[in-house]
């Protein structure tokens, strides 16, 4: 597979259909994504940037999201997780409000660059539950792509952990939020369908 470049990122975003200002912002965000995710890989060994690009495709094609800022948020949703030190760069080029949205979507132990400790999971769940609808949509799309990608992970207990958290937290969260927008209604349906499929696959 060829390395991901800016043109590819812009194509996945669908930026050709955007206005001039939106295209300019997309180029800035795309360049930042290429810089921030560079050198990082997922546990499957794939380039990290493939993950946010897959989420953009999921949102655009399966949920019919067209809002520019939502798609750019999806592109950079893990920026502060993989590189907390990039916050100043994000503020400089995309503005403090955008960086604040990313902070709200990132676990505290990642932001503070420390190991996870007791209480972090509870705080993380409260943090996600407090997200505004479009930001929550991106976070749920992230979870959906992670679930679909489980088969490629070498981590044997990752599947069970993800399915348990889906059952305990993400499905109830998506159910509670489904009435907030048609996009969240559609996301709830996709998550539920994925849960049913995954449960069928693990049965003997």
Instruction: Summarize pLDDT for 72-88 with one digit per residue, the tens.
Output: 999 999 999 999 999 99
| Confidence (pLDDT) at 153 | 67
pLDDT surpassing 90 at residue 200? no
pLDDT tens-place string over residues 6-15:
999 999 999 9
The reply to whether the predicted model has a pTM over 0.85 is: yes
pLDDT surpassing 70 at residue 69? yes
Cα distances (angstroms) measured from residue 171 to each of 95, 104, 185, 200: 32, 20, 12, 17
Q: What is the CA radius of gyration of the chain?
A: 17
């Amino acid at each position: 597979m060829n390395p991901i470049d800016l043109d590819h990122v812009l194509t996945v975003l669908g930026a050709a259909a955007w206005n001039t200002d939106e295209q300019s912002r997309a180029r800035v965000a795309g360049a930042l994504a290429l810089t921030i995710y560079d050198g990082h890989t997922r546990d499957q060994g794939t380039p990290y940037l493939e993950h946010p690009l897959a989420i953009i495709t999921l949102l655009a094609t399966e949920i019919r999201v067209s809002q520019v800022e939502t798609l750019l948020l999806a592109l950079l949703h893990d920026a502060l997780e993989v590189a907390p030190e990039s916050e100043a760069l994000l503020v400089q080029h995309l503005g403090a409000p955008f960086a604040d949205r990313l902070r709200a979507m990132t676990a505290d132990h990642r932001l503070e660059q420390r190991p996870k400790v007791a209480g972090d999971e509870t705080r993380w769940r409260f943090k996600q539950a407090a997200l505004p609808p479009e930001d929550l949509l991106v976070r749920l799309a992230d979870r959906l792509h992670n679930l679909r990608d489980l088969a490629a992970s070498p981590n044997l207990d990752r599947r069970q952990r993800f399915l348990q958290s889906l059952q305990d937290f993400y499905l109830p969260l998506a159910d509670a939020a489904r009435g907030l927008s048609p996009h969240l209604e559609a996301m709830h349906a996709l998550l539920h369908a994925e849960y049913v499929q995954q449960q069928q696959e693990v049965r003997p």
